A = this chain, B = another copy of it.
């Protein structure tokens, strides 16, 4: 892959590779997947949300939300109830146990991310953030 490819192609390849590695290690270190923790993080910041709202903020498929929540419900980390004023809508909220558990996940995550970005100073982090934002904007136009 490294030879006979444009520099851009190598970057794309490395991004892909990196992400696979990160996802795998993330789960190993924190005990939860990135997506799952992101979902929990959103719930952490509110009292109650509809699945629809969750789905939109997470930019993930409806079906995936349903399935995540089903599992989290089974583990008693969240509760769901129908919105009284509109029975189409399901409202989701964390249980107390859920809320507690997230704190420790977040700590693990912070430890993880610090080690991944070890050796980067503030200025470099900003450069990287800027790069990621620019790529994100480029993607939107594809």
Contact = CB atoms under 8 A, between A and B. Distances in A.
Given A1-B38, A120-B134, A139 B22 contact: yes
Contacts of A25: 139, 142
Given A109-B9, A139-B18, A4 B115 contact: no
A119 B138 contact: yes
Per DSSP, chain A at the interface is: helix
A115 B142 contact: yes
Interface in A114-142: 114-120, 122, 124-129, 131-136, 138-139, 141-142
Contacts of A42: 1
B12 A113 contact: yes
Give the number of copies in the complex.
2
A96 interface: no
A29 interface: yes
The range of chain A's interface size is 35 or more
B22 A12 contact: yes
A89 interface: no
A109 B11 CA distance: 12
Nearest to A117: B8
17 contacts: A3-B45, A6-B110, A6-B113, A8-B117, A8-B125, A9-B110, A11-B117, A11-B129, A11-B132, A14-B133, A15-B18, A17-B59, A20-B59, A115-B141, A116-B139, A116-B142, A124-B131
